[in-house]
Structure 1
């Protein structure tokens, strides 16, 4: 789980660089090692917190002492911009870490990434719903490189019990829980609204539950008019209803996720629930191990009784990916690394030991045999993904990068009820033109 502890920090980073602009960055300078100047051995870029992924590089280098991978690690706040500049200057690495979705598709459309076949990297071993985030026009452009990260609803067992609340399975039950928890003197749902992307999770789920996956699929495909679908308006209405009911307390807009405040509200008993990705589990285990062991609960996001979407569908981060630079001079070596060292058996075991479920098929026997104290959690996450008909990538990653700023801005405005529910879709439709 260590590999996901900072993944969502990228939600606050927006890009003004589109696929067409990528091709015009040659004059912007360079960053990091050059693939074109390396006489032998691969170059690869990733984030500093990807410790288990780094172990796969170490394993490859042990087997290839004369042509090792040169791994360059970056902090979250620097990485995306450095990658754009490097690609524009022709100095990008052979393999690069990414989030899939619209940002990766920008590079694909710019001709910067090679498609990967099943014969080359054995794509059939990975969870199908995860692969959708790196698949464009029927071709695969990335190999999953770390654990699954769906968004789930965490809850404090003691706080819910004190208020006479059961973990909500429907939106109506969630609203009832909000009223009871508020009446018991606690914040019903912890939310780091200051960071904006945690609020986005609600709209992602509510739209999927209300309209089904087809609505956002149209949006992600470039249909700007789909933002005006009635289901988008209704999703915003549901969010505003929660806000008006006091679901998030009075100070959510001052709470920032990176400071750990929203996490602390849950384990200190000041909040009853929190909607967050699976990386939060590792944060809770580290910050409050006793709470995580005895009082932490988790369920899927509630269903909508009148919704067209499946209550088993999930949203979040299917995985991060490693993609191959189309200008790499070491493609044979890169393909060997992707096929034989990324999420191999040792990597799978390492992720499970860290409390994270890797996106590979056939983990039933490993999960059954694990002696880890995280066993129930691992099984929950695995079943959640395996039983889901769809795994929707977070909107700010699925959409073209130039829509990230207006998306998060309008999410915040909707949360604050500064715009009407219908206006959210109208604003986003205009931004997508």
Structure 2
């Protein structure tokens, strides 16, 4: 037997049914009400997601490269004629023997002014020394780039130790010189000395200067052009295991020259988390402000739309009041309607925002990143905005008498 509801009383489930019927009965009005929440939440989710995704790509690139690189440089003020290099002959071997070191590459730039460098190719009558630097390096220079072009080779220990007149080019240097195929013999002249080009390095992120450089064996450079100068002292770039850079930075001076560790200046990677802490705090504050603005705008929009709906349904509300419905019943229905529309708008907007993140990530070949808490906050923002807007409209309902409402019809 069905339970009868006493006059002036209403079960909560009945009020929910009325709210659902009202929302589904006016689709145009409902779409207008949830549009502001949909747009606001979609914008918020897309903004946060794209920001986190971009930051994630920066973090990955930084942690894989910069946090594993240590640079050791000869102090120019301590260079002497007796010891212009600073680094010992077996310096790279001493460093690679340290636990946590993957490779160590010794190199320096030839001083174009001091040597009055003249760089030409067989097909060029123009001196290229102003646009292409010349570097001397050991065989480990190959480790400073991801690869050597397939049609050539990199330096070997034999080529370096024997002082061979060979050269490898950086990626951009090869493009500038028009070296497209090393299967055809190619040579370059440096101060009248001819070098056979044997390889092209891939793009170097570790030492970007090498991308526009001509690189010759360091023993060959010492034989033909002399030692490094104070303008361009010798330096070593060390690749370490992840997390080992700080330790290697403290040890490397003593591994190279335990008798004179002060000859070198060592550059270790910064703590990325500390370097970006202030930026992340600023971004978090900005996103919080955006969320608050979206919440306020959505609440006002939902409140305005709900108020318009209440005015349109004044006769219905008046009739229900005349039949015994209490003000709180009408209040609750209005708030539930607004909360439903806010929640649905937020869920829809959240889906659109995630879709935007995926599309942007696919275009840039990124991995999408999104904090789960943001996805959980979307519906809460929508429901909260809906409740706030519903309460605004409910105040008008409380002032609406049954007789006045019926007269409006």
TM range (shorter): under 0.3
Q: TM-score, normalised by structure 1?
A: 0.18
Point out the structure with the larger helix share: 2
Q: Which has the larger radius of gyration?
A: 2
Q: TM-score, normalised by structure 2?
A: 0.19
